[in-house]
Structure 1
Amino acid sequence: EQGRGTFVQDNAIDYAISKRTRFSQNMARQNLSSDVDILSVDLLPVSAELAGLLALQPGEEVHRIRTLSRVELRVVDYATMFFPAARFPGLPEVYYRHRSVTRTLQHFGVQDYTRRFTRVTARLPDAEVVDYLGIPKNRPVLHVKSLNVDPAGVPVQYGVTHFNGDLVQLVMED
């Protein structure tokens, strides 16, 4: 609220952040319907920042997938995910079929993965986030950066997610 601060609605969706954060499991635990729309898929040369995060070398490529997630037909987040392309050839086609990071990684033999880190900040959205989330430009979003690794500790996915702060509250779990 202008001049009073930011408040989470009483009916905000709890989004658990834990060692094994899974969107579909989070929603299923609350008996909420959810779906994921794929906005775009690209194959890009890795940036210096992503190379460090995903343990890649300069010149390697990453799959970038941008999505919108809906819960009970409401857009709750806009996400950008990055996956090492050499390790996961054809990943976009598999993700299109499953619309699940967990099932996509399982297709490539990664039966489990855990969260190495989750970094959360609140910030005002840029124009792109305003458009995708359908929120006012003066409404803060929860900006979440995360890195998932396989059981050997090798990075499998890096993500940047913008949560609609009016609809989602992050719950940190063990």
Structure 2
Amino acid sequence: MDWEPGLSIWKQIEKQLLADISDGVFAPGDKMPTEMELVRRFGVNRHTVRRAMAALVDSNVVRVEQGRGAFVQEQILDYPLGSKTRFSQIVSGRHRLPDKRLVSSEVLKATATVAQFLDVKPGTRVIELFSVSEADGVPLAVATSYLPAARFDGIVEIFVETKSLTEAFKRFGIDDYSRKTTRISATLPSSRVANLLKQARNRPVISTESVDVDSAGVPIEYGVTAFSSDRVQLIVE
């Protein structure tokens, strides 16, 4: 690499790495070269490389995960939480391609917690849907949804077909529904959730507990969702 006179070498390395990211050499979520790989590429010492990488981290272009290395920061999605929260509409409105994939489903007896949020008796049969929501093929959230089984018999197949609970609800005569409550917290993901989000377990997720109700105020879904904190920013409306 030909160095530009009058400009610090570390700054020139930073500019070159920024150009690589801008040109798509390193895409959002990609792992950056190791420190030694950059030392060999640019023919400089470790201190110079570290300073260039630190500048990229400070400008939020690159993030460092302990024990895993440095990664190009993903595009952060602003995700409004309101009475009409709809994943597909939010993602499409940001000019990105939404997708939702069912990982597993099961019919269970409602625990005391699930029963309380769905306003049913403990032990009532509920459908559990475990799914991954993506934008442009990048996982943003992992959700566990609980639905009253008596009301939504056959919804699993419809959800697989439509990839949308909103569209699935319409097949059961629910053309509109709203968010009753949302609780927000930060936590570390389980191994399963971390793998589905394609992130390290030591990276926190934003966890939400929510209840959706139909037009008569009857609960139709209790959901627990883990959002990638590197890719999603929740906005409370």
TM-score by length of 1: 0.91
Task: From the superposition, tell whether residues 72 and 84 of structure 1 become closer, same or farther in structure 2 (CA, over 3 Å).
Answer: same
Deviation, 1:150, is 0.5
1:28 maps onto 2:92 in alignment: yes
Contact kept, 8 Å, 2:97 with 2:136, in 1: the verdict is: yes
Report the equivalent of 2:112.
48
Report the equivalent of 1:149.
213
1:17 maps onto 2:78 in alignment: no
1:1-150 aligned within 5 A = 11-150=75-214
Deviation, 1:151, is 0.9
CA distance in 2, matches of 1:52, 1:77: 24
Q: Which runs of 5+ in 1 are unaligned?
A: 4-8
> SS at 1:20's partner residue?
coil
Deviation, 1:78, is 0.8
Deviation, 1:138, is 1.4
CA distance in 1, matches of 2:74, 2:189: 22
Deviation, 1:130, is 1.5
CA distance in 1, matches of 2:121, 2:186: 31
Larger radius of gyration: 2
Match of 2:76, as an amino acid? A
Task: From the superposition, tell whether residues 94 and 50 of structure 1 become closer, same or farther in structure 2 (CA, over 3 Å).
Answer: same
Deviation, 1:59, is 2.8
> SS at 2:216's partner residue?
coil
Deviation, 1:134, is 1.5
CA distance in 1, matches of 2:105, 2:75: 33
CA distance in 2, matches of 1:90, 1:2: 42
> SS at 2:182's partner residue?
strand
Deviation, 1:55, is 1.0
Task: From the superposition, tell whether residues 11 and 44 of structure 1 become closer, same or farther in structure 2 (CA, over 3 Å).
Answer: same
Q: Which runs of 5+ in 2 are unaligned?
A: 1-63, 67-72
Give the aligned length: 168
Deviation, 1:58, is 2.7
Larger RCO, structures 1/2 (Cα 8 Å, 6+ apart): 1
> SS at 1:135's partner residue?
coil
CA distance in 2, matches of 1:67, 1:10: 21
The range that moved more, 76-85 or 54-63, is 54-63
Task: From the superposition, tell whether residues 24 and 2 of structure 1 become closer, same or farther in structure 2 (CA, over 3 Å).
Answer: closer
Match of 2:168, as an amino acid? T
Match of 2:188, as an amino acid? L
TM-score by length of 2: 0.68
Match of 2:156, as an amino acid? P
> SS at 2:140's partner residue?
strand
Task: From the superposition, tell whether residues 12 and 56 of structure 1 become closer, same or farther in structure 2 (CA, over 3 Å).
Answer: same
